[in-house]
Amino acid sequence: MVLLQISEPGQSPEPHQRRRAVGIDLGTTNSLVATVRSGTPETLPDDKDCHLLPSVVHYAADGTVTVGHDAQSRATEDTLNTLASIKRFMGRGTADVKMLGSQLPYELVAGDSGMPNFRTVAGHVSPVAASAEILRVLADRAESALDGPLDGAVITVPAYFDEAQRQATKDAATLAGIKVLRLLNEPTAAAVAYGLDQGGEGIIAVYDLGGGTFDISILRLSHGVFEVLATGGDSALGGDDFDHAIAEWCCEQAGLGTNLDPGQQRQLMAVARQAKETLADQVEIGITVSGWQGRLDRETLNRLADPLIEKTLRACRRTLRDAELTPKDISAVVMVGGSTRMLRVREVVAETFSREPMVDIDPDCVVAIGAAIQADVLVGNKPGDEMLLLDVIPLSLGLETMGGLMEKIIHRNTTIPVAKAQDFTTYKDGQTAMAIHVLQGERELISDCRSLARFELRGIPPMVAGAAKIRVKFQVDADGLLNVSAKELNSGVEAHIEVKPSYGLNDEEVTRMLRESYTHARDDMQLRALREQQVEADRLYEDLSSAMSQDGRTLLNDKEYHCLEVALADLKQVRDSTSHREIARHIEMVSKTSEEFAARRMNASIKKALAGHSLDELDRDI
């Protein structure tokens, strides 16, 4: 008797067509590609079994482009045409990197995109084009290993990358023919690799010491959402600096001096790097350099490394201060980058944070592995509830502002989980409460959007209009649950509500709302501009009327008072006009007419505050 195959639990009877997805760590020094096979994430090697691909590109006069180890070997003999550390130029303007021009072995020229281009024998090359060459090699490696074209990739970027740098990374992937499923922050990818996104809540520090840079990121994990609290580091500190320290020690011990030719320098740096890596497993190693033989032990290495490690710790302390945290607040420390293999680095980090860092996953590979795990989910290979990561916000989420306008906080098609915040303020003097109206939709007026929930923030200290600072935070977790909170930052009063934003609308309703937003886009924008001017007109009318009732008769003569009355009357009459430009013109007119009155009120307030005080008293107060 044979068994009749039905299906795996949760799977269809049809053979499972697994999609090919990868995670790519596009690094400053080295890059990697990883995937998930048989449920296990792994990095993919080239045909020489090398997993790390040096992020180096060489351009030859005949148009040949070489990437990786072969390009790296040409760095000394053909410096101007061998590009390294390309990531530092991504999304940067020519002015941003102009100061580095004399320090880098490249000829930089202004590019049409605003980014500097590299002058090579093959022509001008943009950072995007050079990065695309690296990504193309990684994609080819993955397609060879997976026996077919890729369905998508998650590419990692530093947490501090701004929108221009992220867009440049996307452009490089597009140029390489890669479909980007998502750009993932490198520290978040490292945390995902260790499964910390499944561990509830906590504060995570990601200590990333690479070949040429050091980054420290502080993340808060809440409801499956990673929020970057603070980032820091040193863009000119990395494993290469440790190698230089060892090389200088060797020169001193061997009496070689500093006048070494390029060949001797390369040999010395290679010996230093080998010694550093070996001392991670051994307590002592023999060294031979230019006929000199000596021994380097771990204690000496620690003495050479301590000043450099202390620089990373200073950056860690600064970043913790920026996040308003202490080392005791950190629940986990993740180590990233090959230089964190040094035992001294791990010891000092453990002492600083009072906990053992997480080092089970190869620090060179941990970011790529986290990206691969995320890509495997996003591409649709995970069954059941894990597919929730594929959800996106179908319609924008936001709140009502004055004039019945919809202010979007999280825009449609944003992948969840996600968290975003925006600051607002009060409209009237002495306002002690604020009504929060949560909405869903793409139109500009709340009457055309879907109401989700309402709640109130009470206990705001009475202040003049505009003085309060209310931070409204929207957070959508992996289950589609929307949590909206409002907090007055001066007093700390807070309120929140939970709603299910993705429920209650079927696909047809979502499609209808989107179609209407496109059809009425021009009309909606004109209505929004009109409402905004009407709100400003109301605010100006109310403020000026109140001021005139208090001080108008004492600070203005009859003619001045009458002029302001007429200006206000005209503003009130035109307020209901259908032309936002006409309202704006009257607002400007009233503002100019009331400038002298405002100045007199300010002077009167200052005189009142100083009344009864002598200069001697003021000097003592100072």
pTM for the structure as a whole: 0.61
547 or 95, higher pLDDT: 547
Specify the 3-state DSSP secondary structure of 295.
Answer: strand
Instruction: Specify the residue for token string 């999609």.
Output: 19
Q: What is the pLDDT of residue 33?
A: 97
- The answer to whether residues 508 and 482 belong to one domain is yes
- The answer to whether residues 73 and 179 belong to one domain is yes
Q: What is the mean pLDDT of the chain?
A: 81
Q: How confident is the model over 254-277, as a mean pLDDT?
A: 79
Question: Annotated catalytic, 616?
Answer: no
451 or 263, higher pLDDT: 451
529 or 461, higher pLDDT: 461
- The answer to whether residues 219 and 310 belong to one domain is yes
499 or 567, higher pLDDT: 567
- Contacts of residue 499, defined as CB under 8 A and 6 or more positions apart, other chains included, come to 438, 452, 453, 481, 482, 484
Contact 142, 35 (CB under 8 A): yes
Which sign does the torsion angle of CA 63, 69, 72, 74 carry?
negative
Cα(539)–Cα(531) distance, integer angstroms: 12
Range of the domain at 462: 397-519
Question: Annotated catalytic, 208?
Answer: yes
Residue in 46, 87, 197, 488 annotated catalytic? 87
- The answer to whether residues 371 and 420 belong to one domain is no
Specify if 137 maps to a domain.
Answer: yes
- The answer to whether residues 109 and 211 belong to one domain is no
Question: Annotated catalytic, 186?
Answer: yes
Specify if 8 maps to a domain.
Answer: no
pLDDT, tens only, 562-620: 888 888 888 888 877 777 788 888 888 888 888 888 888 888 777 776 665 555 554 55
Packing angle between helix 507-519 and helix 521-547, nearest 10 degrees?
70
Tell me the C-alpha to C-alpha distance, in Å, between residue 412 and each of 182, 349, 385, 558.
15, 41, 22, 56
Q: What is the pLDDT of residue 14?
A: 44
- The answer to whether residues 214 and 302 belong to one domain is yes
DSSP state of 443: S
Q: What is the CATH number of the domain that holds 142?
A: 3.30.420.40
Provide the pairing of β-strand 152-157 with 21-25. parallel
Q: How many CB atoms lie within 10 A of CB 31?
A: 25
Cα(567)–Cα(564) distance, integer angstroms: 5
Q: What is the pLDDT of residue 163?
A: 59
- Tokens coding 405: 């306008």
Packing angle between helix 595-610 and helix 558-574, nearest 10 degrees?
120
- The answer to whether residues 144 and 208 belong to one domain is no
Contact 249, 243 (CB under 8 A): no
**How sure is the predictor about 429, in pLDDT bands with cuts at 50, 70 and 90?**
confident
Q: How confident is the model over 257-272, as a mean pLDDT?
A: 76
Specify if 302 maps to a domain.
Answer: yes
Q: What is the CATH number of the domain that holds 421?
A: 2.60.34.10
pLDDT, tens only, 401-413: 887 888 888 887 6
- The answer to whether residues 355 and 372 belong to one domain is no
Residue in 46, 133, 186, 536 annotated catalytic? 186
Q: Is the bond preceding 363 in cis, omega lying within 30 degrees of 0?
A: no
- Contacts of residue 291, defined as CB under 8 A and 6 or more positions apart, other chains included, come to none
Cα(495)–Cα(16) distance, integer angstroms: 47
309 or 506, higher pLDDT: 309
Cα(140)–Cα(47) distance, integer angstroms: 11
Question: Annotated catalytic, 25?
Answer: yes
pLDDT, tens only, 361-414: 999 999 999 999 989 988 878 654 343 333 456 678 888 888 788 888 888 767
Residue in 133, 197, 208, 364 annotated catalytic? 208
pLDDT, tens only, 164-177: 788 889 889 999 99
**How sure is the predictor about 130, in pLDDT bands with cuts at 50, 70 and 90?**
very high
